[in-house]
Amino acid sequence: MDKKSIIGLVLIFLIFLGYMFWIKPSDEEIAARRRQDSINYVERMRADSLAQAEAMQKHLQDSLYQLAMTDTSLNDSTGAALAAAMKINLGQFEPNNGNQRLNVTVANKVMTTDLRSLGASVQKVVLEDFKTFGDGPLEIITPNPNNLDLMFVDSRNDVINTKMIPFATFVDGGQLVGDSFVKVPEGDSLTVSFRAYVRQADSLPADEDAYLEFRYVFYDDSYEVNFDVNFHNIKDFVSVTPNLTLNWQNSLNRQEQYDRSQKGRNANRNKDSERFYTTLFYKNSGDNPSSLKDGRDDEKQITTPIDWVAYKQQFFCAILMSEDGFRNAQQLQVTTDRSKEDDNYLCDMSSSLGVDYDAMADNFSMDMRMYFGPNKYRLLKDMDRGFERILPLGWGFFLTQWVSRFAIIPVFNFLEGFGWNYGIIIIILTLLLKIVIMPLTWSSYKTGAVMRHLKPEMDAINKKFPKQEQAMQKQQAMTQLQRKAGINPMAGCLPMLLQLPIIYAMFRFYPASIELRQKPFLWCDDLSSYDSILNLPFNIPLYGDHVSLFCLLMFAMQFLYTVYTMKQQQGQASMPGMKFMMYFMPFMMLFIFNSQSAALNIYYFFNLLLSMATMFIIRAVMTEDKVRARMAKAEAAGKGKPQKKSKFQQRLEEMQRMSEEMQKQQQRRK
């Protein structure tokens, strides 16, 4: 090390040492920082204490709710003392404590809905035409004391939560006196109303013409339910504060394939796949639908109006929509209770939705609707609210949504009409798509077949121009050779790129298509999920705990396709490592697709099979004799004529000249 280097190192050390002393805080700053740390610690402890108190309060409220479901005498001394201890106050709605706690079950052709008079909420919705993978009832809404409630302040500044109010129950105008099961008349509707009355003073009875009403209207053959909240002649009993909060919550259970004989960690192996398709969607007024993070816990505070909220699972959803929109701040949340030991449990979703209240109106109504049903494209689209956008149809900016909505889904629905097995429909759809894109892929396959016959000439060009500085001459020679053969390698790249939207659209369409749910084909019981010919007693990372035969067939076909295409491209210039990547790809796809839907593996298998068949046909058509004859004809026609170069070729040659000139200048400087 020379003298200058030593001096430089010493100076760097001194500068670093001086900087450390310069940024060192003073004693006053250190003391202030310690005081602030102490304050922050106290604030954190206080926040933790408040959170624990809120959790305890919620637990106490839920305990009171459970008691209220079974005890009809909460207005006696014991019930009043318990309510006071838990700080539950029904305010001017107190007379309703004497109402019966009733359960009403409403059935139509497509679903059965359980409603509860305590809180006037929908407690459970079971779809009639669908089952879970274990052949159990498929619940869209599961029982929970916090399923639905309205919170507001009354004229005495008491906070009213409707989930604690036992409402009077009416079915088509007649009051019920016991639990009831009712069916919606065919071709007609049925109305279930819950009313909570108010009283003007403690010494007066309830006024039956002043009430808060939750009204549900069911239809004979519909997944939709009209839901209205009416404030009838009670403007003097509600605070002038124009804010109401509608809380909607649902605990979501697993519905799709997994081994229900397993417990704990083993049962959770396939939960991630179903959880990935589970998320909360919402639509801002005037905008396209948005969502929280897919498959993960997330929350969002929204201050702009929203039209609807959807709790979406892989194949089913529950939607709450408002005709006038939810106007105030909205809190949307997806959480997972890690303490739950139920293997069927998936996650919880909740929404706190603000509603404007007109304090001057004698009768104020919140007009809403609910949808409890399948994620079927036609059903969601026919409601004309943008619900079909919750389906995972791909990226809008890369045309995949357009391909799915205007090509794949219409053709798929058309083929459904023939009543064929859905496996056959997938194969026919694959064939039709292959025929449609054949003009795009033909030039690419043709280029590969011709290049194989040009291998001797290409090898000769590579030997003639082996040096780096001869790259432009080599490129010119290659281009001239390809022009004689009547091909353009660049023309084969664009068609392959144009296929990507279709490939990705298929990747998103099949796992999300409810038409394939629990539909068998050959050895597969459910085309929307993986097929398993062997369940492993252990879990292989990334691969899973089962062996999918359709995935193995897809892997074998892709490996053969790779071997064949690589043989076709022997002698062509390629990037280092490309050969390894091409052979590694089938093995990577084997791990990725083992737990994907059988429909997706069937599509890729037949798509690759048709691609190989196309390549065999082109190879048979584009014989070496035909290629040589075309080259001889092109060479004879081009004698004595100047070769016309494309603009792209001219730019490429100009860039090559500039590169060579820069290399020469660098060599001169050396």
Buried b (16+ CB within 10 A) or exposed e, 408-443: bbebbeebeeeeeebbebbbbbbeebbeeeeebbeb
**pLDDT at position 476:** 65
The residues, ordered by sequence, that sit 6+ positions from 181 with a Cβ below 8 Å of its Cβ are: 104, 105, 107
Nearest of 118, 368, 102 to residue 246 by alpha carbon? 368
Residue 374 to residue 256: CA distance in whole angstroms: 13
Residue 158 to residue 164: CA distance in whole angstroms: 13
- The answer to whether residues 147 and 116 touch, using CB atoms and an 8 Å cutoff, is no
CA dihedral 431, 436, 440, 446 (to 10 degrees): 50
pLDDT, mean of each 10-residue run, the chain (670 residues): 66 70 65 66 55 52 53 44 50 78 92 92 91 84 87 80 89 87 92 87 66 93 93 81 83 74 48 80 85 85 89 92 83 83 84 84 88 91 88 67 79 88 91 80 65 66 65 65 61 62 78 86 87 84 85 91 72 56 83 87 90 78 60 55 56 66 66
- Output the CATH code of domain 89-390: 2.70.98.90
Report residue 211: phi and psi, to 5°. Answer: -155, 160
Q: What are the residue ranges of helices labelled H in 221-376?
A: 271-276
**pLDDT at position 371:** 95
Residue 555 to residue 591: CA distance in whole angstroms: 10
Q: What is the pLDDT of residues 372-389, one digit of tens each?
A: 999 998 899 899 888 988
Residue-wise DSSP of 82-125: HHHHTT---GGGGGGGGS---EEEEE-SSEEEEEETBTTEEEEE
* Cross-strand pairs, 373: 317
Radius of gyration of the chain (CA): 35
Nearest of 325, 352, 321, 336 to residue 149 by alpha carbon? 352
Q: Coil, strand, or helix at residue 650?
A: helix
Q: In what order do the strands lie in the sheet with 363-374?
A: 174-175, 168-171, 189-198, 207-219, 224-232, 363-374, 316-326, 306-312, 279-284, 289-291
**pLDDT at position 214:** 94
- The answer to whether residues 605 and 490 touch, using CB atoms and an 8 Å cutoff, is no
Alpha carbon separation from 585 to 43, 347, 609 (Å, rounded): 54, 35, 17
Residue 545 to residue 384: CA distance in whole angstroms: 42
Nearest of 143, 134, 138, 324 to residue 244 by alpha carbon? 324
Report residue 373: phi and psi, to 5°. Answer: -175, -170
Query: Scanning the structure block, which residue is given the tokens 């619940």?
Result: 139
Query: Scanning the structure block, which residue is given the tokens 């007066």?
Result: 204
Q: Coil, strand, or helix at residue 153?
A: strand
**Structure tokens given for 285:** 């007024």
**pLDDT at position 569:** 58
* Cross-strand pairs, 290: 282
Cα torsion 453, 459, 460, 466: sign: positive
Q: What is the pLDDT of residues 248-278, one digit of tens each?
A: 999 988 888 654 444 444 445 556 677 888 8
Residue 410 to residue 381: CA distance in whole angstroms: 13
Give the side-chain half-sphere CA count within 13 A for 339.
0
The CA-based diameter of the chain, rounded to the nearest angstrom, is 115
* Cross-strand pairs, 193: 170, 215
Burial class (CB in 10 A: 0-12, 13-18, 19+), 549: middle
The residues, ordered by sequence, that sit 6+ positions from 303 with a Cβ below 8 Å of its Cβ are: 329, 330
